[in-house]
Structure 1
Amino acid sequence: MTIVGSLKDVVRARQPRISALPEMAAAVLILDEDRKVEYVNASAEKLFMPVDPIGCTLSALFASCGATGGDEVFVAVDTSAEPAPMRLRLSDDRLLDCTLRSLSSGGFVVSMDDVTTYVRNAELAERDALTGLANRKALRDRLVERLASAARTGDATAVLYVDLDRFKAVNDTLGHPLGDALLRKVAERFKSALRDGDVVARIGGDEFAVIQSNAPQPAAATALATRLVDLISRAYAIDGHMLHIGASVGVAIAPDDGYEPDVLLKNADLALYRAKAEGRGCHRFFEPGMDERMQARRSMEIDLRRALALKQLELVYQPQFDLASSDIIGFEALIRWHHPTRGLVPPEEFIPFAEEIGVISAIGEWVLRTACKQAAAWPKPVAIAVNLSALQFRGGKLAETVISALAQSQLPVQRLELEITEGALLNNTDDVLNVLNRLRELGVAVSMDDFGTGYSSLGYLQKFSFNKIKIDQCFIRDIDTHADRQAILRAVTSLAVALRMKTIAEGVETEAELACIRAAGCDEVQGYLTGRPMPGGAVMALLEPACSAENF
């Protein structure tokens, strides 16, 4: 705010000597008709020390102290326009808002307000404190400006949403200080990849956004997205650690993908979700159908969370047989979701989704507790196998959850078998092995599920002594007509014997497949041929002493 409004009525004399002026905090200069300084108050005198302003023109005075930005201070007067502050930057980077008005008695009065603190605070309010990049508010403000300009010129404006892949693992395993250092390095790479005029912002966590304008689209956005994926994915050396992360990018381009800032930002986010869903480490452009799919996804998320709360999930049990005795030796607990309107939702559809939205641990704990409780009531002490998601190993609470489930159900520990896939061992292998060893010490059996479908299955057999190897059904299907699958099965069973592990073949559907499994030396079998998944009541009936287990 300036004091010019009050001065206009006060300053009337040709040679002002008003006693209040010297005491005012704002710097005040009065110029004669020749536009030379004839009076300065104490604040102005101090401002321009050691230069004596008296007799100087404003241009000469500004030049003498290295000030910039004041060349057009007389424009408003000369054009009869409404006076407006001009931003003046001094050599020491102080900022002054300079306003000039004509005096009715002749000459001019100039007031200068120091706005350095105000401007700096405003800039800080638009900066991300960690990286120094623009923040979410500044991003939106700049986008509003760019879209308004583009509406006049007809140019396209692209918004790129960028999410760091595998950053959370760095934060969780190495700590937030190193994660913060990594984010600062990422910010530097963003700056090196952008042109002058592009805007990059950190919009929260490990998410960034870029505004790209004045460039041919979509070619420019494609080139930049490709560049960012490559650049951010290169290794980082920080505090003795070699860190590897990646980047996924979603792109929306105005005006085709939206005229409004919030619409464009939302569409870029939808495109980012597609990039992450399709394997990460890539970029995707917004497509009109993405919004509809996202709404369906959100609806499914709400329904899945409600299903857990309203007990719409249930367990069924598929029997497992010993090939030598034909006796039932256990059941695998399998989850089912009966949606009130969609009907039966396949596990392969909602389990990966539950992992993605972060509810798999709650579902997995419910499965474990329910399976243990029901198995404890069975008339025969057969085993119960429960599948674990790789995400259940995070947080360090899995062992305590297993102990609690066994204690509450009173199920003997030797009857519980936990099945894990190779995916559980891909990240934080040492932490996972520590949990598995603790469970083994308790007496819980641990099996490797879907053996042979990953890249390192054999390697993990060296790291942990599994009780059982579960051979994936892709090796069992039509095995009677594929000599190579028979050879693989014989090799796996021989390996298991050498490592003192049992083998179970899953997905057996025909007598011919069963004959091949017997011939290869498998210990156990599971599949539609020997028994389909059944509700808990059917299990009770099947295990009654009067019932025969000779199903094959």
Structure 2
Amino acid sequence: MAKNCDAIDFSDVWVSALDGGSVGLWDRDIVANDIRYSRSWDMILGVDDQGSRCRIEESYSRVHPEDLESVKAAIQDHFDQKTAFYEAEHRIRSQNGCYKWVLSRGKVIKRDDGGKPLRMVGTTIDVTASHELSDKLKMQQCRAQADAERLAVLAQELGERSNELATAQRIARIGNWRWDIPGRCIWFSPEVWHLMGRKPQDSPVSYLQMRSMIHPDDYEKAMAEFYRAVREREQISQEYRIIYPDGSIHNMLTYAEVVVGSDKSVMRLHGTTQDISSYRTIEAALAESEDHYRHMVNLHPQIPWLADPLGNVTEVGPLWFKLTGMTSDETLPEGWTRAVHEEDLPLVHDAWLQSVSTGEALDIEYRLKLQDDRHGWFRARAAARRDRNGRIIRWYGTLEDVTDRRLAEDSRRASERLALRVLRTTGDGVIVCDKGGIIKFINNIAEKLLGISLNCVGSKAGDFFIAGHSYRIGQAIAAVSRGNFNEQFEVFWPPFDAWYEINIYSGDEDIPIFIRDISEKIINRKRLAYAANHDLLTGIFNRNSFFERVRECLVEQRPGNRAALLCLDLDYFKEINDLYGHPVGDQILRQLALRLRSCIRGTDLLARCGGDEFAILQMGVITPNDSIHLAERISVAMKAPFDIDGISLSSTLSMGIAVANVGFSDVDLLYKQADLALYEAKTKSRGSFQAFRPEMQLKSEWTKRMRTDLLAAIGTDQFFLVYQPIMKASDQSIVGVEALLRWHHPDRGIISPTEFIPVAEETGLIIPIGTWALQRACQTARSWPSNIKISVNASIKQFENNNLAGVVRDALTNAGLPPERLKLEVTESVLMTENSVSINTLKEIQNTGVSIILDDFGTGYSSLSYINTFSFDFIKIDKSFISRICRPGDREPIFEAIMGMAQAIRIPVTVEGVETVHQLEYIRGLGCEFVQGYLLAKPMSETDISRVLIYNGGISNYRSDYSESNNSV
């Protein structure tokens, strides 16, 4: 700031440097209250003076009125040393009366001993382009380029003003640099170093340093532009990004021009660099704001519009053009009136002229001709925006489609005209009184409902509603007449044993009273209330009502008394429904509810939770045995068969019990415990009951883990098949093989099928697992002798996707196995469905040549009935029927009956589970054709079964190695 800081001489060199630029310098003498401007500052405003001086009041008069206070405040903050320097972006009036946007920065460079500011210098940059449309940005860049080039020259030529120039550069955030082409080095001014986010250095900048500063994505392009300037000797301007040491990224604008030596070669590049990050941020925010406004305008149902102070419309929302079909040229500034209905045009013209001339807000409705030749009603509203002096700057308005509202109002008026006619013919009783309670109107229905005469018109309503049963009506009429509110209530009318709904409304002049007979509604309401809390089929509590009461009962338990929750499930109910139909099932549920009621006390709660699920809350439980005794009473009650229209049907109940101690109030947990106990009972033996034990929860969690492990096992080669031969009973020669699924868990080893098959069926994972087993078995059997058949089990779940026939065909086709060599084993549960899908699927599979075997025959609900439902090729008798044959002479009458039936209808029989010589001799004596069991052959691996089947030259003459003389294996 050198020595002569009391006056700044804007030298010809400086003036020349800033001539035509967009950066002006100014010097304010705070004591003298004047300010001096550089010629470039005057150029910003279009003034021809060679630098000017004026009073500060005159300078403030150029600032836009809306910005003046903020400018003064920013300067004052700097005077008070609240800010390091003064900075303000505002509008300033140019010589032609138009406003420009400028960015002013300054700093007090001299204060007295008391800190009072004496002198302040700064710059003013024309940033009008930042506030205009983006297509003007290029012009701004050109001006900034020229300014930066002149500032670079100024930095070289005005050595004596270097400090002041450095201050100006720091305020403007512009720096200059010099690139020595022959010397391959670059010199930065201190401000450029600051712009680069680094401390100033006296040494030149190397190319390697430049590469580390410029963003990697911009470096090649930036350097190419510099080289082009050297090559083509052109002035250039370009933008690129700089990476600060802290990782932040800043946008730079650089201008450069070449300096040619005496030998006509390019000696160096001179240039300036300016941090324009703030401009880019403002520009992005402006674009976002414009895009936000545009989306709001496009989506808003109202049409925004603008007008100048004289009332000329200057802008209108796009919805206008869509509705009217007019173009912008046809609409602006006064063409919009051509869309106004000719009958409404004078009103619109006068109203708008009145608003423009007085400045009053506009609010008017009129009709517009729309694009489809319809006329719609619109509400136009507008308000003026004024400057600080109260002058109107612009009108802001909206146009709202109110066609629907106007139509509704027209309809309402028509409805009002109709109302009186309706009152006379409505099904409700109607009485109209004035505010004094005098009856003005009464229709025939009111006369009949209340038993009063039409002659009461003109009388006081209170005189007719004084009896005990009508006193409520009289009181309500009196209350409404005194206050501005409505009354609605229901009242019982003893004279006619009826319920009425009374609605009394407070009007401006009249009090209408509507009376409706709701006797049927009251009855239905009671029915609905009952239905909301009870199961309509059985008349006992439903699930929601039951558990609400359970919560209340648990909270109200008395010390020493506990409660028990019993979950009950009717066994084989689905099978009964499928066989006999839902009407029979419904009757069983009704009779079951009666039996359960007879087993509980009056303090206990009984509910049907849905389907065949019931629940009992037993109160006053002293010991857990009390709940056991209740379960036993229920089991005894279930021993008697249900008599349904002459049909005697027997069933059992599986029950789970959970006891809640005093203070236990978690209903969900109690139900979960009872449900787990029920599941345990059904799993162990249907028709039994189990009390909850903590290990059941552990078992439930184990089942969840099993599901997860099964899901992970699919596709990871954890499943494999073993094969058990099926032999002729007569000579033990192998005629077939059954494929049995096994699972080798990576952590737990071999898991029994009895553990994972139920879980796989429950989750549906048996479908992909079963498909894999079928494909693998067919591929394995392809290499066996042609007379050996392979048996594969199919789960009921595999029938539910209606694609099992296709899966079987694909497995046979892919393996190249003839259909006649495949046997599909199914249990009777496949046939126990409500539709014929499963049977049709079996027939489709059987028609391809595949044999169908009824597995586990005799263990189900009604196996014999399914023999006639479907023509099975084989039946397989469950091992439970021969398990009790332990010694010579033992017999099993049911097994013998099944064998006799099978021989009578000529269905081949396979008996599984043959484990002793006595069992083999017994079934052989009954004429059984085929056997399977550990006595003859255990399940073996794919390799072992293949070795056995191709034994003796590929002919299946394998014999079991048990000794006929041994009594057991």
* TM more than 0.5: yes
Q: 2:680 aligns with which of 274, 279, 292?
A: 274
* 1:199 corresponds to 2:602: no
Between the aligned partners of 1:345 and 1:415, the Cα distance in structure 2 is: 29
Between the aligned partners of 1:486 and 1:49, the Cα distance in structure 2 is: 84
Q: Show CA shifts across 1:163-198 (max 9, x none).
A: 222233344556667756765665565556554443
Change in Cα spacing, 1:159 to 1:488, as seen in structure 2 (3 Å) is: closer
Question: Following TM superposition, by how much is the alpha carbon of 1:347 offset from its aligned partner in structure 2, in angstroms?
Answer: 2.3
Between the aligned partners of 1:509 and 1:214, the Cα distance in structure 2 is: 52
Question: Following TM superposition, by how much is the alpha carbon of 1:508 offset from its aligned partner in structure 2, in angstroms?
Answer: 6.5
Between the aligned partners of 1:499 and 1:469, the Cα distance in structure 2 is: 11
Q: How does 1:277-426 map to 2 (within 5 A)?
A: 277-308=683-714, 310=716, 312-320=718-726, 328-352=734-758, 354-355=760-761, 360=766, 363-376=769-782, 378=784, 380=786, 382-389=788-795, 402-403=808-809, 405-407=811-813, 409-420=815-826
Q: 1:209 aligns with which of 583, 605, 615?
A: 615
Question: Following TM superposition, by how much is the alpha carbon of 1:372 offset from its aligned partner in structure 2, in angstroms?
Answer: 2.5
Q: 2:659 aligns with which of 249, 253, 266?
A: 253
More strand per residue: 2
Letter in 2 for 1:533: P
Greater Cα shift, 378-387 or 337-346: 378-387
* 1:142 corresponds to 2:564: no
Between the aligned partners of 1:55 and 1:494, the Cα distance in structure 2 is: 89
Q: 1:163 aligns with which of 538, 563, 569?
A: 569
Between the aligned partners of 2:926 and 2:590, the Cα distance in structure 1 is: 57
In structure 2, stretches of 5+ residues that fail to align are 1-434, 439-459, 476-489, 502-521, 960-969
Question: Is the radius of gyration larger for structure 1 or structure 2?
Answer: 2
Q: 2:642 aligns with which of 235, 244, 247?
A: 235
Letter in 2 for 1:280: R
Between the aligned partners of 2:636 and 2:679, the Cα distance in structure 1 is: 19
Between the aligned partners of 1:264 and 1:486, the Cα distance in structure 2 is: 45
Could you say what secondary structure the match of 1:280 adopts?
A: coil
Between the aligned partners of 1:478 and 1:129, the Cα distance in structure 2 is: 46
TM-score by length of 1: 0.62
In structure 1, stretches of 5+ residues that fail to align are 1-18, 23-40, 57-87, 97-115
Greater Cα shift, 200-209 or 530-539: 530-539
Conserved 8 A contact 1:451-1:470: yes
Q: Show CA shifts across 1:430-479 (max 9, x none).
A: 99888766655543334455678889889987987765565766788999
TM-score by length of 2: 0.38
Change in Cα spacing, 1:124 to 1:515, as seen in structure 2 (3 Å) is: closer
Conserved 8 A contact 1:475-1:485: no
Question: Following TM superposition, by how much is the alpha carbon of 1:412 offset from its aligned partner in structure 2, in angstroms?
Answer: 1.3
Between the aligned partners of 2:933 and 2:875, the Cα distance in structure 1 is: 16
Change in Cα spacing, 1:527 to 1:429, as seen in structure 2 (3 Å) is: farther
Question: Following TM superposition, by how much is the alpha carbon of 1:333 offset from its aligned partner in structure 2, in angstroms?
Answer: 0.7
Question: Following TM superposition, by how much is the alpha carbon of 1:491 offset from its aligned partner in structure 2, in angstroms?
Answer: 11
Question: Following TM superposition, by how much is the alpha carbon of 1:219 offset from its aligned partner in structure 2, in angstroms?
Answer: 5.8
Letter in 1 for 2:666: E
Conserved 8 A contact 2:557-2:663: no
Between the aligned partners of 2:810 and 2:743, the Cα distance in structure 1 is: 25
Between the aligned partners of 2:880 and 2:607, the Cα distance in structure 1 is: 47
Q: 1:535 aligns with which of 925, 941, 948?
A: 941
Change in Cα spacing, 1:369 to 1:184, as seen in structure 2 (3 Å) is: farther
What is the aligned-residue identity percentage?
39
Could you say what secondary structure the match of 1:200 adopts?
A: strand
Conserved 8 A contact 1:490-1:521: no
* 1:225 corresponds to 2:645: no
Q: How does 1:438-517 map to 2 (within 5 A)?
A: 440-447=846-853, 467-468=873-874, 482-484=888-890
Q: Show CA shifts across 1:55-112 (max 9, x none).
A: 99xxxxxxxxxxxxxxxxxxxxxxxxxxxxxxx996889899xxxxxxxxxxxxxxxx
Q: Tell me what 1:108 maps to.
A: none
Could you say what secondary structure the match of 2:654 adopts?
A: strand
Question: Following TM superposition, by how much is the alpha carbon of 1:384 offset from its aligned partner in structure 2, in angstroms?
Answer: 0.8
Between the aligned partners of 2:892 and 2:578, the Cα distance in structure 1 is: 43
Between the aligned partners of 1:271 and 1:492, the Cα distance in structure 2 is: 36
Q: Show CA shifts across 1:255-304 (max 9, x none).
A: 17945333322222222223322323233322333222322233334433
Change in Cα spacing, 1:406 to 1:135, as seen in structure 2 (3 Å) is: same
Between the aligned partners of 1:136 and 1:291, the Cα distance in structure 2 is: 23
Conserved 8 A contact 1:319-1:332: yes
Conserved 8 A contact 2:724-2:939: yes
Conserved 8 A contact 1:380-1:543: no
Change in Cα spacing, 1:385 to 1:223, as seen in structure 2 (3 Å) is: same
Letter in 2 for 1:330: G
Could you say what secondary structure the match of 2:533 adopts?
A: coil
Could you say what secondary structure the match of 2:681 adopts?
A: helix
Conserved 8 A contact 1:160-1:210: yes
Change in Cα spacing, 1:377 to 1:283, as seen in structure 2 (3 Å) is: same
Between the aligned partners of 1:433 and 1:126, the Cα distance in structure 2 is: 40
Conserved 8 A contact 1:326-1:549: no
Could you say what secondary structure the match of 2:561 adopts?
A: coil
Letter in 2 for 1:384: I
Question: Following TM superposition, by how much is the alpha carbon of 1:329 offset from its aligned partner in structure 2, in angstroms?
Answer: 3.5
Between the aligned partners of 2:597 and 2:437, the Cα distance in structure 1 is: 48
Conserved 8 A contact 1:247-1:282: yes
Could you say what secondary structure the match of 2:557 adopts?
A: helix
Question: Following TM superposition, by how much is the alpha carbon of 1:417 offset from its aligned partner in structure 2, in angstroms?
Answer: 1.8
Letter in 2 for 1:412: P
Question: Following TM superposition, by how much is the alpha carbon of 1:520 offset from its aligned partner in structure 2, in angstroms?
Answer: 8.6
Between the aligned partners of 1:174 and 1:407, the Cα distance in structure 2 is: 40
Between the aligned partners of 1:542 and 1:511, the Cα distance in structure 2 is: 22
Between the aligned partners of 1:487 and 1:148, the Cα distance in structure 2 is: 57
Change in Cα spacing, 1:93 to 1:308, as seen in structure 2 (3 Å) is: farther
Q: How does 1:59-208 map to 2 (within 5 A)?
A: 123=529, 127=533, 130-131=536-537, 133-151=540-558, 153-172=559-578, 183=589, 186-187=592-593, 190=596, 194-208=600-614
Change in Cα spacing, 1:48 to 1:485, as seen in structure 2 (3 Å) is: same
Question: Following TM superposition, by how much is the alpha carbon of 1:381 offset from its aligned partner in structure 2, in angstroms?
Answer: 5.6
Greater Cα shift, 210-219 or 420-429: 420-429
Question: Following TM superposition, by how much is the alpha carbon of 1:529 offset from its aligned partner in structure 2, in angstroms?
Answer: 6.8
Question: Following TM superposition, by how much is the alpha carbon of 1:223 offset from its aligned partner in structure 2, in angstroms?
Answer: 4.9
Question: Following TM superposition, by how much is the alpha carbon of 1:518 offset from its aligned partner in structure 2, in angstroms?
Answer: 8.4
Q: Show CA shifts across 1:175-234 (max 9, x none).
A: 667756765665565556554443333334432322232465546544543454455675
Between the aligned partners of 2:957 and 2:637, the Cα distance in structure 1 is: 62
Question: Following TM superposition, by how much is the alpha carbon of 1:334 offset from its aligned partner in structure 2, in angstroms?
Answer: 1.0
Between the aligned partners of 2:461 and 2:715, the Cα distance in structure 1 is: 73
RMSD of aligned alpha carbons: 5.8
Conserved 8 A contact 1:229-1:249: no
